[in-house]
Every structure is written in C-alpha cells, then in structure tokens.
Structure 1
C-alpha cells in the first residue's frame, strides 16, 4: 500500500479500491499487497456499502469497474496524489528529501541502471523510498500520463523529444542477426539492403515502425516484414531462433551476445534517443527533483557504456 502519511489522511480502503481496479481482480491485488484475499474482499464490500452502490462487477476472470466505479476512479486517484503530496510536504518541511519516488525503466536499462541508482539514492537520501518499475516505452509513457509514475525512461525516434523531456543519450540503430548468419561478420549494412531482409518489427502503431516505413517509401522500397513482436526481448529471441532480423539499439544481454550479433545501419545512419520523461499529473517533491538531478548526472555515461561493452 502507500505510505503511512497518506493512510492517515485518506481512508486506506480507497487505496485498496485502486489496487483492485488496476489488478483486475481481488486475488491479484491481494498478492501485490501481500494481504489475505478475504481481507481485501471485506474492505471492498464495506466500501461499496458506504458508497451505497456497486464499484465492481464480478466476471469469470476477475472484476471490472461499474459505471459508477469508472466515474470515481480518476477522482480517487487525484485524491491519493494530493494526499501523498500533502504527506510529503509535511515531511519535507525540514528541507531533507523524503517520501516516495516512482521511476520506470526500459528493460534494456535495468541491468545497467537499477542497482547503481538504488545504491546512490539510499546512500544520499535514506528517507527517500524508490519504487522501480519495468516496462516498454509505450507502457511507461501511459503510466506517466496517468500519474502512476513520477519519472521514466522513454524512447524517442529522431528529434521528437518533448520540451519537458531531457535527452540522456542517443543510440544508433543496428540490424540484429543470428551469430552464425553471414551478415554477422559485417560492421555496417546499408538501409537499402536491410529493407529486403525478412524483418521482425513492432506492430502498428509504433514510432519506429512508422519511421522505417516512411524512409522505405522515400527510397522507393518496401519493407519485408515476416513477424510482429512488441518487445525488444521478443524480437531478439525470434531473431536468435532464425525467424528473421530485428532492428533495435543493439544492446544485447550476456546470453543474447552468445547467439546474436549487431550490425550498424548506415546510409542513412539511424538513431533513437533515450529521454527522461516527467509526469505532468502530480506535483514534484524535493525527493523527485533530487532523483531527477541524479539521473541526469549518472545515466548518460552508464547508458552509453552499456552499448559499448
């Protein structure tokens, strides 16, 4: 659940309401909160009695919000954010960063950034509670928009970063090929040659997919897509099994590096940016600003070194 300061300000049953709505089931919320399912059910029943109407509709797979539940959900989320802000303001009155900071990482950045960031925050600001979440760029951006995250790493194609986003690094795009493929021995490959290969690409709509399609049309080419996969990990796994070729930043895990190789795409050289996104739907605390400053300081060099290693 959320921190104790919020619980003192807001009835914790409403926080359970949000958890159940997000999980889509009472059992899922109970598991995430490490609570007994019967306890969660009892609180939700009591909340519905106090509200005078049903908040959830039971289905074979779990629960969904009723029409009334859908109406109150964004208002409850706003109340929780306000309560968290008030609790943080009271604790931060001394000027010391305290409270919760929710940060989302891209899967390819977890290994290089999660541990060092956690250690640095714990050393500098022991009263800051860092909540780390992993997800695709699209998922993280959605959670930022909903106010469920304070900060997140996002991918941006070309120069599409928003004014409030900080570009941490730019990553060249590579053709990812099986380690034993004849192309694996090359250092570069022209985009014209890439277009004719059987490609494993993200499904539409996706910024990279749109960008590659536009470039191909400008050159009078047609992309040869054999499969859609909506995560870099899936694209790499399919490539390793001989199902096609992927176009990613070429950052490979130790296991992937034994089975895959990355060939840089040129003529034209393509790149994408990793940016630090900031939610516009909750006020930032001193803790948020300090973690943001730390990320801007440490992340660029770490992300760059990860690609070169």
Structure 2
C-alpha cells in the first residue's frame, strides 16, 4: 500500500472533487484523475462514482476510506512514537476549535509550541460544535475544543472553563447597563443570532419557549464577527454571546454586556479527546499545553485583564453617549 496514494484518495473523498484537490496541490485535474484510477485498479473495483458536482464514494470506497484513515493514523503514530523515542517530538496535530476560542488560545498555543516543540505542526479547523463533534468521531481531527451544556464526566473530555451567557449591545444601552438581566427581557427585543439548526440556537429558542415567548430575530449570522459588528453599529440591536467571544470588544468599550439570569445558561468549555485509539506524543503535548494555558488564566479561555484596566473598560462601556462626547 502506497501511503501517498492512500492520502490522495482520502483527500479526494473529503473534498468530493478532483478539481478542488488539483487546485489545492497546484497540479492539473488529469494528473489527480490518473493517480486515482491507478489506485482504484489495485482494488479491482471503482472507489468513486462521478456526479454532476464532482465525485462520491461507492460502497467499497466508503469501507476503504474508513479503514485507510485508521491505517494512516496508526502509521503516523508509529512514526511519531519512533521519533519521540529518539528524543524529538515531530508531527502534525489536527485540532478542531470553536470560533470564540480561536484567539488568544490558538495564538498562545502556537507561541509555546514554537518555543518548546518546534517539530509539532498545528492544523486548525474552526467550526461550530456539531461539525467539530462529527470531525472528531470520524477521525478528521485529533483534538477538539468544544462547548457542552453539561459538565464532562468521562475520561475523553477535560473541563477547561465555565462560561455564563450575556446580552450584548452597543455602548450606552439602558438594558445592558446593569450587571444582570432576566432572560424574559429578551421578549420583543431585536436580535441577531446564529442560524438554525445549531446547538446554541436551539438552546436559546428552548429557553425562550419555556418562559412563554419566542425570540425575535431580525438577522441570522453564524459569524461572531458579523454579530458583534452589527450590534456595535446598530442602536437597539442585541445579540447573546459568551464572555470569551467579546472580551476584546468589552475591554475597548465597543460593546456593552449584561449577564443573563433566570435561567443562567452555562456552557462548559472542554478539551475533547478521541473516543478510540491513543494519542500520539505530539497530541499529548498539545493537550497538556492547552490545559496549562487555560489553568494559568484562571480556568478561562482568555488572558485575564489587569484589574485596573478592567475597571476602566467597564466604566467606559457603561457611560452614556452624551458623557462619551463630553469626555
């Protein structure tokens, strides 16, 4: 079995397109097609069927992809184990991460690895929780940082932090000027929320239904950046976010937030490990550094703001527009 051919086969299977893989590898489609045909010939049966939009796995192709992915992972782990035995940890770690944890966690993780383990390469996939869960189950990523609504209890997940939920607005808003606001106050508010379906959106909708009302969304957007920018520039528009996704904006005074209570929607940030198979030395190091970073930040996903700076930022965010103009 040729490792390079197996990797190409899996890459085409995940992309669902010969042309996309050819563009990614900076070669022509005919070259990729010829290699796939030669690989299929070793099995004596097609692994792909051609469709109008690209290629799809046959039944044999699906079975081959499952077994080859596992075989490649074991081969890579064996190689990395042997390198580790020689005193140098090398290898790629594929990590799935939710958008709100992308910075500064990934930034600081990269810096630490460059200093202490330069042979480890990060391959970061940023996606929503359900998609990352699927990637972890299929073996497309080795580790994942996820939100859970329940505290993890198994060995496969390590608790990193606990996050409350906040109603977010532009600075100077009367509703978010207090430390807390009841969830029922969301009734009839103009909201920008993530699109359906999604675990977080479902949880928000269910909380509203349990209190006898329906959330009024004027815009739906999965992008945290889009949500924050719309709220920051639109008076009377609100979003519902966790603290880590807006820490920089709160500190700079671009956004204002009040913790939602009754109910207090708590999410647990976890480091999820593969349910089957052992971690490679490189993966173990990445997992350890992620846990060390969050623990050093007080079990948070973001670096703590110095107390003096935090007080100034809070005061700045809660001043009225008139006070800001006079300042």
Give TM-score scaled by structure 2 length: 0.79
Q: Please list the CA deviations of residues 211-266 of structure 1 after superposition, one character each: whole Å capped at 9, or x if unmatched.
A: 33444444x42122325444434544554565953211142276797764322212
Equivalent-residue separation in structure 1 for 2:230 and 2:53 (angstroms): 30
Q: Which residue of structure 1 aligns with residue 215 of structure 2?
A: 224
User: Does residue 164 of the first structure (1) align with residue 156 of the second (2)?
Assistant: yes
Distance 1:126 1:305, change over 3 A: closer
SS at match of 1:53: coil
User: Does residue 154 of the first structure (1) align with residue 152 of the second (2)?
Assistant: no
Equivalent-residue separation in structure 2 for 1:34 and 1:282 (angstroms): 34
- Equivalences for residues 231-246 of structure 1 within 5 A: 231-237=223-229, 239=231, 242=234, 244-246=237-239
Task: Indicate the larger mover: 157-166 or 119-128.
Answer: 157-166
- Equivalences for residues 75-224 of structure 1 within 5 A: 75-159=67-151, 162-179=154-171, 181-218=173-210, 220-224=211-215
Structure 1 position 288, deviation (Å): 1.5
Distance 1:127 1:113, change over 3 A: same
Distance 1:306 1:18, change over 3 A: farther
Distance 1:65 1:234, change over 3 A: farther
Q: Is the 8 A contact 2:188 2:216 kept in 1?
A: no
Equivalent-residue separation in structure 2 for 1:266 and 1:253 (angstroms): 19
Distance 1:158 1:232, change over 3 A: farther
Q: Which residue of structure 2 aligns with residue 25 of structure 1?
A: 17
Equivalent-residue separation in structure 1 for 2:249 and 2:35 (angstroms): 45
Give TM-score scaled by structure 1 length: 0.83
- Equivalences for residues 39-78 of structure 1 within 5 A: 39-78=31-70
Q: Which residue of structure 1 aligns with residue 287 of structure 2?
A: 292
Task: Indicate the larger mover: 277-286 or 242-251.
Answer: 242-251
SS at match of 1:154: strand
Structure 1 position 94, deviation (Å): 2.8
> Unaligned 5+ residue runs, structure 1?
1-8
Distance 1:159 1:284, change over 3 A: closer
Q: Is the 8 A contact 2:167 2:176 kept in 1?
A: no
SS at match of 1:140: helix
Q: Which residue of structure 1 aligns with residue 278 of structure 2?
A: 283
Q: Which residue of structure 1 aligns with residue 259 of structure 2?
A: 264
> Unaligned 5+ residue runs, structure 2?
314-327
Pairwise CA RMSD: 3.0
Structure 1 position 16, deviation (Å): 0.4
